[in-house]
Structure 1
């Protein structure tokens, strides 16, 4: 199996992980202190709120979980596939994510839960855009799977088994991107408040534009006589079907 990832996968993975890290930092530092980019912690908080009978928190936490899921629903409607493949409508999904983040800013400023809901929906949309690339699981809004993959790889190394370098490298990129995004999001929130969400919104838009440019260039190359689909897995016939 080819272990070389296309450039657009590398750039997209680290960019989107950084964006999620920034959004999550702003959401966590905000008025409700909610983690909006993943649902494990939110579900745990929901369980404790149910046990304590804190019905206000129960409503808020349920709403965040539903919003994240609705973002995934939007991704399913737009992308219509769970496999990462050049030629899909990722540009449309990224543009919608940027719009959701921008719309969340004034709501956050008014201390409304709806700001967190839009941010969670944006994260759900981003996370659901891709599931796998050539067997490597791609998740950009939470890190449990990434750290699990690194642990599995270390276990293989200790046993003298082959290292899944593609998966480990992708995991390392996503972890690094998310961590850097959290740092930048914290600095941005302290300097600009909720307007810091404009930074990941702009980066999301730029990532979407960059993807569209790269996709169009790659598909033009595929139309040339004698060309064959590269490891992006995007034959010209898929572009005609998706476009």
Structure 2
């Protein structure tokens, strides 16, 4: 799921990456809305709110929203920087590094939210910033390794691409190519799993509060483990290994 670049990726690899990251983004966004009354998987709405605060001269809010926007941007920057830094050593390591960093950040968010969160404005602002950084990491990673095909932290661009590609598919004068069909599969997968993640996030947050944030690192671990399990199986079953003697 992580070790191949755009030119070498199969449809199943793209579908698995799209579904898992869209599920995480949907869950994160809905949980953020319920817990903090703000979006935590994208910055589109934050730009509009920032403009309102600028007009109203709410200087503290202006600073906070600038920090949140920068957090998402910096997450994307860090993901790409990590990929370029480890690319020569191992493509898998390069692509797994942003996911590992996202897990490292999401676990403390879950622990702090579940055990220590007192609902103060400062706590809320810091946690939202950390979650936006994580979504910037994830969105940049998925976009980079899929050649821009997979972006799962927001749906505005998705609906634009889906509308354009669906019109092309349904138009009587266009060719129904496999590439176009696969793109539609991926778009609908992202949409479906983002919505499904949102449903799961809302349902579980109402039951277990911040404990649902423990689920997000587990889903991210499956992304990392997908490429490791075949290698581990091979090493355990290859001729000469202890398990085959």
TM-score above 0.5: yes
2:43 matched residue in structure 1: 39
Match of 2:158 in 1: 146
Structure-2 change in CA distance of 1:93 and 1:194 (3 Å): same
Secondary structure of the structure 2 residue equivalent to 1:129? helix
- Cα drift, residue 155 of structure 1: 2.0
Structure 2 residue 79 is the aligned partner of structure 1 residue 75:
yes
**Aligned pairs (5 A) from 1:185-224:** 185-213=201-229, 216=231
Task: Describe how 1:1-243 pairs up with structure 2 within 5 A.
Answer: 5-31=10-36, 33-80=37-84, 87=92, 89-108=94-113, 109-111=117-119, 112=123, 113-131=125-143, 137-156=149-168, 157-163=170-176, 164-213=180-229, 216=231
Where do 5+ consecutive residues of structure 1 fail to align? 221-243
Distance in structure 2 (CA, Å) of the matches to 1:205 and 1:104 = 16
| Inter-partner Cα distance in structure 2 for 1:107 and 1:58 | 26
Structure 1 range deviating more: 4-13 or 167-176 = 4-13
Choose 1 or 2 for highest CA Rg. Answer: 2
SS in 2 for 1:178: helix
Q: 1:49 to 1:106 in 2, by over 3 A?
A: farther
Where does structure 2 lack aligned partners over 5 or more consecutive residues? 1-6, 236-245
Cα distance, 1:38–1:166 mapped onto 2, change above 3 Å: same
Tell me the C-alpha RMSD between the 2 structures: 2.8
What are the Cα deviations for residues 148-174 of structure 1, in whole angstroms up to 9, with x where unaligned?
A: 122112322235312411211111111
2: CA distance between counterparts of 1:54 and 1:169? 44
Offset of residue 93 of structure 1: 1.8
Kindly tell me: are residues 53 and 134 of structure 1, through their superposed partners in 2, closer, same or farther at Cα, counting changes over 3 Å?
closer
Which structure's residues are more often helix, by fraction?
Answer: 2
CA change 1:155–1:17 in 2 (3 A) is: same
Q: Equivalents in 1 of 2:208, 2:58: separation in Å?
A: 32
TM-score scaled by structure 2? 0.77
Q: Is the 8 A contact 1:101 1:201 kept in 2?
A: yes
On the 8 A contact 1:97/1:126 being kept in 2, the answer is yes
Residues 1:45 and 1:159: Cα distance change in structure 2 (over 3 Å): farther
- Contact 1:107/1:114 (<8 A) preserved: no
